[in-house]
Structure 1
Amino acid sequence: MLKTSLHRGIFIFFLSTLCIGLTLGKIIMSISMIGLFVNWFIEGNFKEKKKINDSRGYVPIILLAVFFLELLWMVFTKEPVSGLSSLRTKLPLLVLPLVMGTSNTINNKELKIIITSFLIGVVISSFIAYCVDLGWINKKINSGTSRDISITMSHIRYSIILCFSILTILHLTLKKKIKKWIAIILSIWILILIYKMASLTAIIGLTTGLVAYAFYWFKQEQTKNQKRIFYVFVSAFLFLVFSIFSIINDFYTIKNQLSFEELPEKTNLGEEYIHDKHNEALENGYYIWRYIAENEVQNAWNERSDISFGELDKKGQQLKFTLYRYLTSKGLKKDRTGVKQLSENEIRLIEKGATSSISYNALALRIREVLFEWENYKTTKNPNNHSFTQRIFFGKIGLEIIKKAPIFGHGTGATKKQYANYYSENKTLMKLDNQLLAHNQFLTQTINLGIFGAIIWIFLLILPLIKLKTDHRPLLNAFSLMMLIAFFSDDMLERQAGLTIFATIYYLFIFTSSDLELKNLFFLKKNTE
């Protein structure tokens, strides 16, 4: 039988490789998870494991309820295959509390190895992402956006873990556990990547996480540089808020103030203009749906491009709408004269899906995209091909599904079938390729578990986050808020990568706490008299 010290080394090894795998994809995650469980089982010594569980107030066993809740709700599902698939995805919720919770507390030396491994994984994955961006590695998806550089997992999950790595580096810096020059280089390297990916979920998550971290840190810590650091945080936050409001204000600032009655009726060549006074969508301050002479635009465009006016651009958008928006952004009319004023380079840009002649930074571009999606949705009620408005649409469907089984839900893994039923039974504007699921973890859980089960699920997850008094409390606060935001924008726990990211970090926070902290966590105190 292997010595206890060797089993401990294997435990730390697989936990470290798991943390490396959090940014590198499912294969490393799966191998690490299997390795952790097999090592735990072969080690045996279950009497000692039981003692550790008892000394921690049964917290490891209680936390298994998060998994067994899903297992119990299999009785409500009419889709056992989907239910079993969901349970397989959520196995980390069974393995990690069992293995980590009945092993001796991770000491500082071991924690250093684990955190270093995590940051190594972040650096490796970021190198891969930069190589994809430079074209040295092929993309898996070609949507025409910078988010395609994430090839190991969804860009939302990847950008969230990048944001958490920034907060981890900040935490280590303030605790004087990392050299400042290394922290600065790593932070700049990762922040540039987050900026390039332009995920609003990540940007909001990082901002909220930083505010939460700063609030708790300034409240608890007393340092000679506290005021200086506080002013840096506040200045950065105010600058971000000011930038966002400036972008929004500029988006809604109208540059052509002509009344509807003053608009010209015909082009120079005699075609009647279309002026849609009911659609007030803007591009760079100009109305998109005014000054449209479609026949002239179509003929002029087809003379200059190999992609027909009625086809799709290279981003999969209807080219004519891309062209309309681009012309509008330049303040040009949508007629032959307007198309003739475009350069050859601009023709190529439009073919690639460029909707504006203005070069915005990544943050401004993403915010403007969201604003445009919202304004377009208000007018047309068509959410297709727009991630923000599609999520609104998915949310409305989710609420309708919940109404059919509000108390106990439709059962584990039922969300996919329920959405498929809704799309088949109801006429919607949503194209087949866009008929997706909730993209909201809270909605997904309520569909599966009902309101009753979802409340139990939230209670089991949130209580440790509230009650723990760990040395890493500021980082835990930041992580909690980032996950809250991620859960509202993505069904994060329905995919192996998202579930493993959450579970690994969540249980590391819990099981690096003292046994005394854990003992009182769920109001259960073991009688030691």
Structure 2
Amino acid sequence: MPLFSQTIHRNIYLFGLLLLVFSLPLSMFGTSFSQLIILGNWILEGKFREKLKILKSNKSILIFASIFFIHALWLLPPQDYSYAYNDLKIKVPLLVLPVLIGTSNYLSAKNIKLILIVFVSGVLLASLISLFRFLFYSSINVTNYRELSVFISHIRFSLMVAFSLFILLYYCFINRELKFNNVHKFIAILISLWLIVFLFLLKSLTGLIVFSVIVYLSMVYRAIIIKSYFKWLYFFILLIIPALPIYYVYAVSKKFTNIEIIDLSKADTLTLSGNKYLFDVSNKSVENGKLVWVYYCPIELKSEWRKRSKVLFESKDINGNEVQYTLVRYLTSKGLRKDSVGIWSLKNEEIKAIESGVANYTFLEKWKVYPLVYNALWELYEYKKTGNASGHSLAQRIEYLKTAKEIIKEHFWLGVGTGNVRIAFDKKYIEMNSLLENEWRLRAHNQLVTFLLTFGIFGFIWLIFALFYPAIKEKGFNDFLFTILFLIIIISFINEDTFETQAGVTFFIIFYSVFIFGKEKQYIVKP
């Protein structure tokens, strides 16, 4: 028998969902606490026979929840149980939310709209907090843009921003029954414009790629279904669009292929102070096309740095790189020689930037995409040259995948087990003589690869089935927003362990459960 009236229990349930989605980009405590509210209300509501009947009749809920049980079942091999316990704790929403939402009262179209708008409000608030940090924390640049996201990983946050943009688009132009009125539409468009700017400001390569790919796929879909004499012109434009970013990346890459040539016979050998320059033209490290290790006078750099900064020359900056190395790169990027004259040519703001890990003056241009592209290409260039990816996000992912590939070869059929992922990676890094420093020896950063090496091919196939089957059976892909959500997560799997963090797994599961298990069956809007 319910503790309260049906109306009160329903309101508590809806409040729990609203608190959960609002907390996603803002508070992990709020995310956890809201799930306890939903669980407590579900228990106090009673009606367990009715709920059990729903579970028996709707196999999709149990199939999806089996993702959690796969993680639990793969505890059978000898494990690092502290790691396994933490992993299972993160995965609890995979079990709890589908069951609670799937056996509770269905959500109406208006309920779902409210949930989605509250989620967008949370994302907007988090973005404004990030804007405050951006404007008043000068240390934030392309090398530490992660600090813009205060509460969760900047990558997961970027996925939420992307989903929010499609939610606003949906209620502005697609949903006819619950479309925004003119005033709300105007506000939504302003918010959308800001979130697009913020997505670029956040400089999450994953978020930008996910958003761009889905926008492009949506345009292709529109071109297919459109009936117009201009259809083929539309297709031609769609063929041109991908060429633009490709050409842009190519243009930036010229900074690494058009390298300056130093004629040592004509080069100055002494600084203005009479100290000797060092030249290492065999070292092809470059910044903006200029060789780093030429016109290099370490004696003057060290002595003059002490006069300009309280940070030790031999210490490390906030990104874990040696300050002296960051200084040399920065001077090179500006075309300055690495001597006393070069150091004193820098402004005080630039000295602070170097202390904060800024290694190229273009990285100070916070509003531009160029530094992000340049830094990514620089990482790949240095990785190819040295084989060491330490501290470089994109290059590290290549090293992670190489290591994961070797683990999969040895554990293809059954995987290493839920609690042995970290042990397997640590062991394989040593066997491969990886140049990665210990602090950067992490997991695969690819959810599909993580599934495969953890559970083997049999577990992997079941997990993919459990992800897709409920969505297909319940006709989830007939819903525009669910399709967008699913694409966002699946594309993010390629570059991230999305399910290995509380924010990532909860973001996906709450909306998956609402769209597939929680909504009224007649509420279906095709893309």
Match of 1:527 in 2: none
1:397 pairs with one of 403, 416, 422: 403
TM-fit CA distance, 1:315: 4.2
Residue 229 and residue 502 in structure 1: after superposition, are their counterparts in 2 closer, same or farther (change >3 A)?
A: farther
**Superposition pairs for residues 149-164 of structure 1, below 5 Å?**
149-164=148-163
> Residues 213 and 475 of structure 1 are in contact (CA less than 8 Å); yes or no, is this contact kept in structure 2?
no
Q: Distance in 2 between matches of 1:487 and 1:406?
A: 20
Q: Do residues 187 (structure 1) and 192 (structure 2) align?
A: yes
Distance 2:424 2:488 in 1: 28
SS of the residue aligned with 1:76? coil
Contact 1:133 1:149 in 2 (8 A): yes
- Over 3 Å counting, the alpha-carbon distance change for 1:237 and 1:118 in structure 2 is farther
What TM-score, normalized by structure 2, do the two folds share?
0.85
| Match 1:266 to one of 265, 269, 280 | 269
The answer (yes or no) to whether the contact 2:412–2:457 under 8 Å persists in 1 is yes
Counterpart in the other structure of 1:477: 483
2:28 equivalent among 26, 29, 38: 26
| TM-aligned CA deviation for residue 374 of structure 1 | 1.0
CA spacing shift, 1:372–1:182, aligned 2, 3 Å: same
**Match of 1:174, SS?**
helix
TM-superposition CA deviations, 1:144-196 (whole Å, max 9, x none): 72320212111111111111111211122222523331221111222232222
What is the CA–CA distance in structure 2 between the aligned matches of 1:381 and 1:235, rounded to whole Å? Answer: 35
1:474-518 alpha-carbon deviations (Å, 9 max, x no partner): 433332332123223222212211110111122223225665999
In the alignment, which residue of structure 2 is the partner of 1:148?
147
Report the equivalent of 2:221: 216
Alignment of 1:188-203 (within 5 A): 188-203=193-208
Does residue 64 in structure 1 map to residue 65 in structure 2?
yes
1:321 aligns with 2:325: yes
Separation in 2, partners of 1:225, 1:321: 55
Q: Which residue of 2 aligns with 1:100?
A: 101
1:380 matches 2:383: no
Total equivalences in the alignment: 512
Matches within 5 A, 1:355-374: 355-358=359-362, 359-360=364-365, 361-374=367-380
- For structure 1, list consecutive stretches of 5 or more residues without a partner in the other structure: 519-529
Paired residue type of 2:335: G
Task: Please state whether the residue corresponding to 1:111 is helix, strand or coil.
Answer: helix
Corresponding letter in the other structure for 2:270: T
Question: 1:389: how far off?
Answer: 1.6
Q: Deviations over 1:11-36 (max 9, x none)?
A: 22212221112212221111221222
Shift of residue 470, structure 1, vs aligned partner: 4.3
1:453 aligned to which of 445, 448, 459: 459
Amino acid at match of 2:80: E
Distance 1:78 1:47 in 2: 37
Q: State the SS of the aligned residue for 2:125.
A: helix
How far has the Cα of 1:120 moved from its partner? 1.9
In structure 2, how many angstroms separate the alpha carbons of the residues matched to 1:344 and 1:61? 61
Match of 1:307 in 2: 311
Change (3 A) 1:342 1:42: closer
Is 2:83 the partner of 1:82? yes
| Deviation (angstroms), 1:305 | 3.7
Q: Which among 9, 12, 17 is matched to residue 10 of structure 1?
A: 12
What SS does structure 1 have at the residue aligned with 2:280? Answer: coil
Distance 1:516 1:80, change over 3 A: farther
Partner Cα separation in structure 2 for residue 132 and residue 346 of structure 1: 19
| Distance (Å, rounded) in 1 between the aligned partners of 2:485 and 2:346 | 48
Amino acid at match of 2:317: D
1:248 counterpart residue number: 253
Structure 2 Cα separation of the partners of residues 227 and 17 of structure 1: 47
CA contact (8 A) 1:313 1:353 kept: yes
Identity of aligned residues (%): 31
User: Which residue in 2 is equivalent to 1:127?
Assistant: 128
Alpha-carbon distance between aligned partners in 1 of 2:210 and 2:193, rounded to the nearest angstrom: 17
Matched, 1:435 2:445: no
Q: Which moved more, 1:229-238 or 1:200-209?
A: 229-238
Residues 85, 413 of structure 1: 8 Å contact kept: no
Taking a change above 3 Å as real, the CA distance of residues 100 and 333 of structure 1, as seen in their structure-2 partners, is same
Does 384-393 or 470-479 show the bigger shift?
Answer: 470-479
Deviation at 1:248, TM superposition (A): 3.2
Alignment of 1:262-301 (within 5 A): 264=267, 266-268=269-271, 269=274, 271-277=276-282, 279-301=283-305
What's the secondary structure of 2:74's corresponding residue? helix
Alignment of 1:233-244 (within 5 A): 240-244=245-249
Give the AA of the match of 1:267: L
Deviation larger for 115-124 or 411-420: 411-420
- Residue 327 of structure 1 deviates from its aligned partner by 1.9
Q: Report if aligned partners of 1:22, 1:121 keep a CA contact under 8 Å in 2.
A: yes
In structure 2, the CA distance between the partners of 1:331 and 1:404, relative to structure 1 (3 Å rule), is same
1:118 match:
119
The change in CA–CA distance for 1:345 and 1:103 in structure 2 (over 3 A counts) is closer
Q: Please list the CA deviations of residues 64-115 of structure 1 after superposition, one character each: whole Å capped at 9, or x if unmatched.
A: 2111111221212423343233222211111122122223432212112211
The 10-residue stretch of structure 1 (298-307 or 375-384) with the greater mean CA deviation from structure 2: 298-307
- Most deviating of 487-496 and 291-300: 291-300
Give the Cα separation in 2 of the matches to 1:420 and 1:284.
Answer: 36
Q: Is the 8 A contact 2:142 2:371 kept in 1?
A: no
> Contact between 1:275 and 1:290, CA under 8 Å: does it hold in 2?
yes
- Which range is displaced more, 221-230 or 422-431? 221-230
Residue aligning to 1:49: 51
1:505 aligns with 2:506: no
Q: Per-residue displacement from partner, 1:304-342 (whole Å, max 9, x unpaired)?
A: 444343333354421222222122222233344444544
Read off the aligned partner of 1:483 and give its amino acid letter. Answer: I
Match among 482, 488, 493 for residue 494 of structure 2: 488
Given the superposition, is the C-alpha separation of residues 339 and 105 from structure 1 closer, same or farther in structure 2, using an over 3 Å criterion?
same
1:221 positional shift: 6.7
CA–CA distance in 1 between the matches of 2:126 and 2:292?
A: 40
Q: CA deviation at 1:375?
A: 0.9
The 8 Å contact of residues 470 and 513 in structure 1, kept in 2 or not, is answered as no
- Partner of residue 174, structure 1: 173
Cα distance in 2 for residues equivalent to 1:493 and 1:403: 23
* Counterpart secondary structure, 2:461: helix
Pairwise CA distance, 1:255: 5.9
SS at match of 1:252: helix
Q: Is the 8 A contact 1:55 1:515 kept in 2?
A: no
CA–CA distance in structure 2, aligned partners of residues 163 and 517 of structure 1: 23
**Structure 2 residues without counterparts, runs of 5 or longer:** none
- The one-letter code of the counterpart of 2:93 is P
User: C-alpha separation between the residues in 2 aligned to 1:84 and 1:316?
Assistant: 30
**Once superposed, what is the RMSD of the aligned Cα atoms?**
3.5
Which deviations, in whole Å up to 9, do the C-alpha atoms of 1:440-468 show, x marking residues without a partner?
22232223212221121122113345566
Change (3 A) 1:408 1:17: same
- Any idea what the Cα deviations from partners look like across 1:261-288, whole Å, max 9, x if unmatched? 66637235362532232x3232112122
Q: Normalised by the size of structure 1, how large is the TM-score?
A: 0.85
Query: In the alignment, is the contact (CA less than 8 A) between 1:216 and 1:474 conserved in 2?
Result: no
Residues of 2 paired with 1:203 and 1:174: CA distance?
Answer: 23
